[in-house]
Amino acid sequence: MSDRSEQVYHPGEIVPESGIYECDCAQHYEYITDVRGHRFPPVHKECSGSGWKLKDAAHPSP
Ligand SMILES: [Zn+2]
């Protein structure tokens, strides 16, 4: 059980974990980052959501 997937990150916030994010509107635009510490981009132009949610965390190589 984890509620981390419910966390919404807003544009300009620091990316806490590399992986695949999607915006929280009905269109689910994806944003893929492999660099932790970058900032989230603005959501797409017609987005009715407020930010990005982690969809799939990247699996770090050993
Ligand atoms: Zn959207």
59 Cα–ligand 1 center, Å? 25
User: What are the structure tokens assigned to 9, written together?
Assistant: 């990150």
Q: What does the pLDDT look like over 6-53, one tens digit per residue?
A: 799 999 999 999 999 999 999 988 888 878 889 999 999 999 999 999
Note the pTM of the prediction, 2 decimals. 0.78
42 Cα–ligand 1 center, Å? 10
62 Cα–ligand 1 center, Å? 33
User: What are the structure tokens assigned to 34, written together?
Assistant: 């492999």
27-51 CB burial, b ≥16 within 10 A, e <16? eeeebebeeeeeebeebeeebebeb
pLDDT of residue 35: 83
Sequence ranges of the domains in the chain: 4-57
Three-state DSSP string of 4-54? HHHCEECCCCECCCCEEEEECCCCCCEEEECCCCCECCCCCCCCCCCCEEE
pLDDT of residue 52: 95
> Which has the higher per-residue pLDDT, 53 or 59?
53
pLDDT of residue 3: 56
41 Cα–ligand 1 center, Å? 12
